[in-house]
Structure 1
Amino acid sequence: MSETKITVIYDNPTDPAAFEAAYEAEQLEAARKIPGHIRIETSKVWPKEDGSPTPAYRSIDLYYPDYDAASAAVTTPEAGAFFEAMGRLSTGGVRVLFSDIEIAQH
């Protein structure tokens, strides 16, 4: 079995300043506490040059050795705290994906 990635895609928040004020402590630090990940990546989407809305605002990727490990991780209290905060902060919407890594970049 190959690595599995959990991706959280945050759509554009209704109040970007409020989102950013809470992001580090309530999302990034909470994501780091979810057990079992082998690495974590975060991204902020570049603004469009014409000022139109971007298709997303930020993302967090948590990488796990396999699907079973990722599935177990989301049942932990740490993941519960992360997802509770995600629900509060994601005023523009949010998507969560489980993906099979086809080509690992090690």
Structure 2
Amino acid sequence: MKEAKLIVMYPTPTDLETFERLYEQEHVPMAVEKLAGKTRFVASLITSAPGQAQAPYHRIAEVYFPSMQALETCLNSPGGQETAGHAVKISSGGAPLFMTADVESFDF
């Protein structure tokens, strides 16, 4: 089975300071605690979008799972639902974009 990941892309918040505080103090700890079956969590702060005045997203979170089945089981669990709901609640710049992906890695 291929590894899978959940990708959550947060638009630029209307209140950057409040979003960052809620993300770091509430959301990340919740994701670590309640997303059952995850193997890795990567939280990226977008610093630029070359060729654009402003990046369309402020943060991108990637949560890895050993399989798509494990990811889907997590998303349908109470902890997954609570964490996804919290992501929507704190995203003051608009609803975050949720995507799932099969992962292929190439090490150089």
Q: 1:49 to 1:59 in 2, by over 3 A?
A: closer
Matched position secondary structure for 1:57: strand
- 1:84 maps to 2:98: no
Whole-Å Cα distance in 2 between the matches of residues 7 and 49 of structure 1?
21
Q: Structure 2: 5+ residue runs without aligned partners?
A: none
Tell me the residue number matched to 2:68: 67
Q: How large is the Cα RMSD of the aligned pairs?
A: 2.0
Give a deviation string over 1:45-97, Cα, whole Å, max 9, x none.
01469993212101111101111000000112211221121111112131011
Matched residues, percent identical? Answer: 27
TM-score (norm 2): 0.86
Q: Structure 1: 5+ residue runs without aligned partners?
A: none
Q: How many residues align?
A: 105
